[in-house]
C-alpha cells in the first residue's frame, strides 16, 4: 500500500484490484444468467426460495466487490469527457428510439413532452448512456401495458429531464438505496428482466460529471417512480 495513505492503493495495486474485480463480476454475472434461466423453468415454492437466496448472495458479492474498490480508492471513472454543445431533445429522441423494442414488447405506452430548444454542454456518449439507463429502468419495472411519461424542459439556467412510470414503485428503504450499486432492493422487475442494480449508481456518477444531479421520487410500492435529471443549460 501507499505509505502516505494506507487506504489508497498504488497504481500497480489499483490496476490489479480493478482487473480482479472485473473478472469476478463477469463470473458472478454468468451465475446470474444461470439463475435467470432457472426462473423460466418449472416453478415451485421450494425452488423459487432457493433461487431468490442465490440471487441475494449474488448481489451481496457484487456489492462487497464495489466496497473493496471504494475502500482502496480504485478509480473507476469515465475518463476525460469530450464536452460540446448537445441538442438534448435529439439525444432524448434517439434514446427512446433505441429502446422502442422494449416498450413494444411489453406494450407500454410512452408519451413525451419535449422542449426542442434545450442545449447542454456535455459528452454525447455518456449523456446517451444516462438517458438510456433511466428509460430502460422505467420499462423494466413497469408492467405490461403500463405508461412511461418522458419530459424535457428548460427551467431557468437548468435543463430538466424526467422519466415518470406507473411501475412497481419504491418504498422508503429502497429510495435510500436505489443509487447504491448492487443494493438488494424490495422492488422486482415485472417480467423477470435482469436486475443488475448497478446502472443507476453509475448514472449518478455520469450526472455529477456533467455538474448535474439525479434524484428519485416515489409514493411507495405500487405507485410508480419519477427520476429527474438536472443539468446546466447553455443560454
What would the pLDDT profile of 23-44 be if each residue is shown by its tens digit? 887 887 788 778 777 877 777 7
Length of the chain: 235
How far lies 71's CA from each of 4, 68, 182, in Å? 15, 5, 16
pLDDT at 230: 98
Instruction: Quote the pTM value.
Output: 0.77
Pairing, β 109-114 against β 119-122:
unpaired
pLDDT tens-digit readout, 46-72 = 777 887 788 778 777 877 777 777 777
Amino acid at each position: 500500500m501507499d505509505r502516505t495513505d494506507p487506504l489508497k492503493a498504488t497504481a500497480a495495486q489499483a490496476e490489479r484490484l480493478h482487473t480482479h474485480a472485473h473478472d469476478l463480476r463477469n463470473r458472478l454475472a454468468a451465475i446470474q444468467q444461470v439463475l435467470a434461466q432457472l426462473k423460466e423453468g418449472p416453478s415451485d415454492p421450494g425452488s423459487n426460495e432457493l433461487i431468490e437466496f442465490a440471487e441475494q448472495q449474488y448481489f451481496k458479492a457484487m456489492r462487497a466487490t464495489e466496497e473493496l474498490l471504494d475502500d482502496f480508492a480504485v478509480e473507476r471513472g469515465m475518463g476525460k469527457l469530450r464536452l460540446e454543445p448537445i441538442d438534448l431533445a435529439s439525444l432524448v429522441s434517439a434514446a427512446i428510439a433505441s429502446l422502442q423494442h422494449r416498450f413494444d414488447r411489453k406494450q407500454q405506452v410512452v408519451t413525451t413532452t419535449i422542449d426542442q430548444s434545450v442545449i447542454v454542454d456535455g459528452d454525447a456518449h455518456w449523456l446517451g448512456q444516462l438517458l438510456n439507463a433511466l428509460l430502460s429502468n422505467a420499462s423494466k419495472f413497469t408492467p405490461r401495458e403500463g405508461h412511461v411519461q418522458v419530459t424535457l424542459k428548460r427551467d431557468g439556467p437548468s435543463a430538466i429531464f424526467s422519466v415518470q412510470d406507473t411501475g412497481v414503485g419504491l418504498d422508503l428503504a429502497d429510495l435510500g438505496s436505489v443509487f447504491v450499486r448492487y443494493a438488494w432492493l424490495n422492488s422486482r422487475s415485472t417480467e423477470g428482466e435482469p436486475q443488475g442494480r448497478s446502472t443507476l449508481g453509475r448514472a449518478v456518477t455520469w450526472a455529477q460529471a456533467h455538474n448535474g444531479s439525479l434524484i428519485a421520487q416515489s409514493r411507495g410500492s405500487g405507485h410508480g417512480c419519477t427520476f429527474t435529471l438536472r443539468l446546466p443549460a447553455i443560454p
